[in-house]
Amino acid sequence: MRPSAPELDLTRCDREPIHLLGGIQPHGVLLAFREPDLTVAVVSANAEALLGVSPQALRGQPVTRVLDADTLRRVRAGTASGPVRVKVGGRACSALLHDSDGLAVLELEPLSDSTAEEDALAALHRLVSSLSRAHGTPALLQAAADAVRALTGFDRVMVYRFHADWHGEVLAESRGGGVDSFLGLHFPASDIPVQARALYTRNPLRLIADVNARTVPLEPPALPDTGRPLDLSGAALRSVSEVHLEYLRNMGVGASFSVSLLKDGALWGLIACHHLKPHAVSAARRQACEVLARLLSLQLSAEERGAEAASRARRAELQRRLVTQLGEGPALPAALESHGGLLLELTGASGAALLLGGALDAKGEDPEHGDAPLLFGKTPSADEVRALAAWLTLEAGQGTTFHTERLGALFPPLAGRADVAAGLLAVRLDPEAPRFVLWFRPEVERTVTWAGNPHKPAQAEPGHARLHPRGSFAAWREEVRGVSAPWTPEDVEAADAFRGGLAGVVLRHAAELARLSRALARSNAELESFSGTVGHDLQEPLRGIQQYTAFFLEDYGDSLQPEGREQLQAVGGLARRTQGMLKNLFEYSRVGYVELAWGEVDMQEVVDEALAMISTRLEEGRVEVRLPRRLPRIACDAVRIRQVWANLLSNAAKYQAAEPRWVEPGFFGPGEPRPAAADRFRAPYVFFVRDPGIGIPPQFHESIFEMFRRLHPAQAYGGGSGAGLAIARRLVRLHGGELWVDSAPHQGATFYFTLGRGPR
Amino acid sequence: MTTARRPLLLVEDSDADAVALERIARRLPMPVPVVRVRDGESALDYLYQRGDHADAPRPALVLLDLHMPGMSGREVLSRLKADPALRGIPVIIFSSSEAVGDVEGAYADGANCYLFKPEPGEPLEATARALQAFWFTAARLPGERQSPP
């Protein structure tokens, strides 16, 4: 994670050369000598207190003035496996020897009486047996924390793990009374700068015995050969950065000790120890901790591999369940809705969205406007998701998976939605269309508990140039805004595997859809033949009833009583009415199967023809036709639309009371002002038929389009079966248009209709 | 006027309609005999002088119902109009269907006239009268040797 420009002062921390500070902690003495003549070149300024010889007197002298040649050999031989117990100036010390800058560096730490008799190996033995009894990573880490505290006596021992972005989390903790718990807290990556982490990898142990101790300088401060201070990377006594000491002091820590946990050579975490007061730990015990840490690392690697395998198996099981349940479900969207939880668990996301395309969308969205995404958990809105999918289609490359932890930086429209979508993991289902499964994560800032140092907030120090660690926390907090927890390779793998499984489900559902549509086509054909039967074959016997009642009346009517004649006439009339309804039903059902003959049509001609068809009714009712302007040319099926006009015009002529009676066919063209009622369904052209007639109460504005729905007695207003408007609406809808009415009682009526975009 | 004038072939599956037309024909001065068949196959047998109709004379006019069981009126019409030997016989579609597709389709297939079968009784009689007046009085039919009266 790279800091951005405004947080430049943080990088000062990264740049501080902490291995070249040129000083040591005061609880030991450091001597660096040349080989093979053993001439001392560098001495720590505190040498005289322990060795009884001033640094000036030691420099240029052979190191054998401090340690005799035999002891030196013993130290050289033993130091590879740990500190060597020696006597210096009559005091028991532990000696460590390593090479740096072409010099042999000897570090001597006096042993106190209490630690003189220690048996680090025996302690280690106890610790290892407790480690080996622990099962599972959390128990293992807890055992390690307890073991290290038992071994070192620190007040608080934490096992701290680095995340992929190098921020840390306290996974286990062992602490004594009177110490705050840090368990579960997250620490920003800048708390442990880059070069410190590099040093942790090279030199796994670091003790700061007293954060308030004064650093002991080395003499000379710079080596003549290199012109810079002795490299203390490998030195146990190395003094630490003032920034780090301040950090510790701010946390109320008096001494600290850390042991690196490495996994496959890379820094995995730390065992970090704090003590409220100054606290020294012997080199032997420190070394025991290192051995413990190595064992722990090995054990962790094994545990982690096991956990990864378990996680893979769990995800595979989730996917299997998901795919099975989706495959068995009635409809994919419904099945997904009831298993959204599994979907989220699969990649550890907080939200997910599916864009599956119109073919699978039971809601039947208009494909030109994109499908409504199915949303689960915390996600951006449907519109935002659609926009994201459109962007992904164009920008996210050709791969099948895409992921980012900073979506807002890549796709600015969602920059403000870090609350739900800072992280995106997308798998693409279709190389052509915007069909995706998308998983979302919120910004990490919201998901973890940051160690905002509740104990000792950073003090502002005006005019003080140096960086204050806790002061940097706010800046860092800014930096992680809009960033989600990273997607692991396992997350991406699970997403990609789900894509494969879903493809199978989609195929199965497509096959099911095809089967259903075949069945539907069959049942449509059956329905058609049924309505054909009803429409035609039932009409015949009804005609027969009419015929024979007519014959009977003709032939024998004279011999019947008037009452008998009336009854027979009524039988004929009922048969006639039933037959008329059947005919309309037949016609209405046939409209559904009509193949439209689309063409460029002169609507004026169509209206003229329709007016001619109903001319008798217009003349009889003395209805004037008003035609203020010529109608346009437009694409439609002229024959069917003529039927619509004829129906609307004849209705308009029919339902009028007093003179003057008139009807007006007309239209609104593109961009022309039109009343709100004409704009209910948007289309470039809206046609209408207007009349000043009796009008229709609002509660009937929809029901008049229902089959056989009549508002007036059968014989009023010239009769009518109530099928005309239903058929007209069906014809208009067949064109992709809509037919509706705007009217009020005694205010006349205006029937509007639109036409679709032509044949698809 | 010859005594053996060519008949009118009525293709009609509905007995009621057929009886009604025959009844009307008896009352009207219908100058030709009315021969009725019940379905499309029989109509073609009649026209092609096959089977039961081996001796059938060529009709002067065909009055053809559209919706019939088995072969439809449209099929009979198409076959008839596709045959140069029969094409000349006027075919009047006589159907209860007001569907636009039926009307347009019948003319497209070569129907000479489309009559809508009206309600039984007076309207039907009026239509029959009009048919008689036009086709047997005003119009000249093919194969007539004499001018109309």
The residue type found at A562 is: P
For residue A438, the cross-strand partners are A353, A426
Q: Which residues of A touch B97 (CB under 8 A)?
A: 536
Has residue A468 got a pLDDT over 50? Answer: no
| Phi, psi values for residue A100, rounded to 5° | -160, 140
pLDDT band for A244, please (50, 70, 90 cuts): confident
Res A396: pLDDT:
66
Q: Tell me whether B142 touches chain A (CB under 8 Å).
A: no
Q: Which residues of B touch A540 (CB under 8 A)?
A: 13-14, 16-17
- Cα separation of A549 and A609, whole Å? 38
The first and second tokens of residue A745, run together, are 């009682």
**Is B101 close to A590, i.e. CB distance below 8 A?**
yes
Chain B residues 23-42 within an 8 A CB cutoff of chain A:
23
Tell me if residue B133 falls in helix, strand or coil. helix
Q: Which residues of A touch B23 (CB under 8 A)?
A: 551
Has residue A158 got a pLDDT over 60? Answer: yes
**Is A546 close to B121, i.e. CB distance below 8 A?**
yes
Among A44, A20, A30, CA closest to A216: A44
Of A447-461, A594-608, B79-93, the least confident: A447-461
State the nearest Cα–Cα gap between B122 and chain A, in angstroms.
9
Q: Which residues of B touch A583 (CB under 8 A)?
A: 96, 98
| Phi, psi values for residue A113, rounded to 5° | -60, -40
Q: Which residues of A touch B98 (CB under 8 A)?
A: 583, 587
Res A125: pLDDT:
76
8 A C-beta contact, residue A323 and residue A333:
no
- Cα separation of A235 and A207, whole Å? 10
pLDDT digits (tens, 9 = 90+) for A348-368: 899 999 887 654 443 333 443
- Cα separation of A306 and A304, whole Å? 5
pLDDT band for A752, please (50, 70, 90 cuts): very high
Q: Which residues of B touch A639 (CB under 8 A)?
A: 100, 104
Per-chain mean pLDDT for chain A: 81
Per-chain mean pLDDT for chain B: 85
Percentage of chain B beyond pLDDT 70 is 93
State the nearest Cα–Cα gap between B100 and chain A, in angstroms.
8
- Cα separation of A1 and B53, whole Å? 100
Per-residue pLDDT averaged across A257-277, rounded? 90
- Cα separation of A447 and A433, whole Å? 34
Number of other residues whose CB lies within 10 A of the CB of residue B74: 20
**Could you tell me which residues come within 8 angstroms of residue B108 by beta carbon, excluding any fewer than 6 positions away?**
none
3-state secondary structure A577-635: HHHHHHHHHHHHHHHCCCCCCCEEEEHHHHHHHHHHHCHHHHHHCCEEECCCCCCCEEE
Q: Tell me whether B98 touches chain A (CB under 8 Å).
A: yes
Percentage of chain A beyond pLDDT 90 is 20
**Is A550 close to B20, i.e. CB distance below 8 A?**
yes
| Phi, psi values for residue B63, rounded to 5° | -105, 110
**Is A590 close to B99, i.e. CB distance below 8 A?**
yes
Q: How many interchain CB pairs under 8 A, A with B?
A: 49
Q: Choose the mutation target among A531, A543, A614 for the interface with B, i.e. most B CBs under 10 Å.
A: A543
Tokens 């309207």 belong to which residue? B123
Rounded alpha-carbon distances, angstroms, from residue A228 to A218, A221, A447:
12, 8, 45
State the nearest Cα–Cα gap between A626 and chain B, in angstroms.
27
8 A C-beta contact, residue A17 and residue A193:
no
Q: Which residues of A touch B15 (CB under 8 A)?
A: 544
pLDDT digits (tens, 9 = 90+) for A429-452: 877 777 888 999 998 765 566 665
Per-residue pLDDT averaged across A694-716, rounded? 75
**Is A543 close to B14, i.e. CB distance below 8 A?**
yes
**Is B16 close to A587, i.e. CB distance below 8 A?**
no
State the nearest Cα–Cα gap between A508 and chain B, in angstroms.
41
The first and second tokens of residue A505, run together, are 């489900």
Length of chain A, in residues:
760
Give the burial string for B32-71 (b: 16+ CB within 10 Å, else e): bebbbbbbbbbbbbbbeeeeebeebebbbbbbbbbbbeeb
8 A C-beta contact, residue A433 and residue A373:
no
Q: Tell me whether B55 touches chain A (CB under 8 Å).
A: no
**Chain A residues with at least one Cβ partner in B under 8 Å:** 536, 539-541, 543-548, 550-551, 572, 576, 583, 587, 590, 594, 639-640, 643
**Is A547 close to B120, i.e. CB distance below 8 A?**
yes
The first and second tokens of residue A702, run together, are 């929809």
The residue type found at B31 is: P
Chain B CA closest to residue A583: B97
State the nearest Cα–Cα gap between A547 and chain B, in angstroms.
5
Has residue A332 got a pLDDT over 80? Answer: no
Q: Is A81 exposed, middle or buried (0-12, 13-18, 19+ CB in 10 A)?
A: exposed
Tell me if residue A326 falls in helix, strand or coil. helix
Per-residue pLDDT averaged across A388-403, rounded? 80
Residue ranges in A8-119 assigned as alpha helix (H): 8-15, 47-51, 55-58, 69-78, 113-116
Chain A CA closest to residue B117: A543
Q: Using CB atoms, which residue from A539, A545, A548 is nearest to B96?
A: A539
Tell me if residue A63 falls in helix, strand or coil. helix
**Is B96 close to A583, i.e. CB distance below 8 A?**
yes
Q: Choose the mutation target among B38, B66, B67 for the interface with A, i.e. most A CBs under 10 Å.
A: B67
**Could you tell me which residues come within 8 angstroms of residue A10 by beta carbon, excluding any fewer than 6 positions away?**
A3, A190, A467, A472, A475, A476
The angle, 0 to 180 degrees and rounded to 10, between the axes of the packed helices B100-108 and A638-654 is 140
The first and second tokens of residue A498, run together, are 């789900």
8 A C-beta contact, residue B96 and residue B61:
no
